[in-house]
Amino acid sequence: MSLCIDCGCAFCCDGTLYSHAPLKEEDLPILANRFDVLLADRKSVDGKPEASFKQPCRLCVNDRCSVHEEKRPAICGDYRCKLLDSHGSGKVTTEEARTLVENVKELRDRLRPKLESIADAGCGASFLELTLSAVSQLEKEGAAERTTQSAELLLDIAMMRILLAKNFDSRLTKHTWLADKALQAMGDAAEPPAHSAPGPGK
Ligand code: SF4
Ligand code: SF4
């Protein structure tokens, strides 16, 4: 996994991609108190209760796994993102991967304070949780209250989701509907609110 270290990427550990990482039964004895373990608190894709630990992982330090050489949950060694596969098959060079990771970090770090200012996701929330909470707040806005700023924020969020889905995990495409929503919002923000039009007979 030297690409991860070469690129300074920790998106699969630091909450950028996920809010939780799944655990297997055999992981449980090695966890001690090192992970925030949530047992049967979540459902897997097939609807079964699933043990997981929260992200950002508390053992991710300065964009690196601080226990890389130690026994870790199985998912930590097994996980491979699309970027890792594309690099392994020669489709993406290390330089290209590094540039991509830097661009995603730049967008994420620019977005984070804006998301924090409107999200209702609690302390220690992952970037994914902040994103989903902020989107749900933005969705409550009607077209009349929509500002250009909030429409632009939706557009940035959509861009981020598309970047992550395209380059790291295709399953995240379920959030790319945000792009349509953002474009719709841009259109709404550009139009004068309906109540400003003169009413009949006035
Ligand atoms: S998201 Fe991919 S490149 Fe980044 S740390 Fe995880 S496996 Fe490595
Ligand atoms: S233990 Fe290491 S690899 Fe596993 S989630 Fe935490 S930082 Fe990532």
Q: Are residues 114 and 185 in the same domain?
A: yes
Interacting residues of 178 by C-beta distance below 8 A, sequence separation 6+ = 135, 154, 157, 158, 161
Dist CA 49 CA 68 (whole Å): 28
pLDDT confidence of residue 193: 42
Answer whether residue 162 is part of any domain: yes
Average pLDDT, the chain: 82
Could you tell me if 39 and 102 lie in one domain? Answer: no
Binding site membership of 21 for ligand 2 (Cβ less than 6 Å): yes
Average pLDDT, stretch 94-115?
96
Is the domain of 52 the same as that of 72? Answer: yes
CA dihedral sign, ordered 105, 108, 113, 116:
negative
Write down which residue in 28, 50, 79 finishes a domain: 79
Decide: 73 and 53 in contact? Cβ < 8 Å.
yes
- Ligand nearest the Cα of residue 34 is 2
**Per-residue pLDDT at 100:** 97
Looking at the fold, whether 74 and 40 belong to one and the same domain comes out as yes
Distance 17 CA to ligand 1 centre (A): 10
Select the more confidently predicted residue: 74 or 42. Answer: 74
Kindly state whether residues 106 and 71 are assigned to the same domain.
no
Diameter of the chain by CA atoms?
77
Task: Report if residue 200 sits inside a domain.
Answer: no
Whether residue 168 contacts residue 11, with contact meaning beta carbons closer than 8 Å, is answered with: yes
- In tens, the pLDDT along 142-196 reads 767 777 888 888 889 988 988 998 999 988 765 556 666 666 665 665 554 444 3
Pocket (CB within 6 angstroms of ligand 1): 1, 3-4, 9-12, 79, 81, 83-84, 168
In sequence order, what are the residues at sequence separation of 6 or more whose Cβ sits closer than 8 angstroms to the Cβ of residue 38?
A: 20, 51, 52, 53, 54
How many structural domains is the chain composed of?
2
Structural domain contains residue 56 = yes
Do 41 and 75 belong together in one domain? yes
Same domain, yes or no: 121 and 176: yes
Question: Quick one: pLDDT band at residue 93, thresholds 50, 70, 90?
Answer: very high
Single out the residue in 79, 107, 131 at which a domain terminates. 79
CA separation, residue 170 to residues 89, 90, 174 (Å): 17, 19, 9
Q: Is 60 exceeded by the pLDDT of residue 201?
A: no
pLDDT at 111 over 90: yes
Number of other CB atoms surrounding residue 107 within 10 Å:
16
Q: Whose CA is closest to atom 6 on ligand 1?
A: 12
Of 28, 49, 79, the domain-final residue: 79
Domain carrying residue 9: 3-79
Pocket test for ligand 2, best of 57, 71, 80, 84 (most atoms within 8 A of CB): 57
The Cα-based distances of 43 to 13, 20, 49, 107, 122 in angstroms read 20, 11, 5, 30, 21
d(CA 95, CA 15) in angstroms, rounded, equals 24
Question: Would you say 23 and 38 are in contact if contact means Cβ atoms under 8 Å apart?
Answer: no
- The answer, yes or no, to whether any atom of ligand 2 lies below 6 A from the CB of 67, is yes
Q: Which two tokens stand for residue 98?
A: 């590094």
112-134: per-residue pLDDT in tens? Answer: 999 999 998 888 899 999 998 99
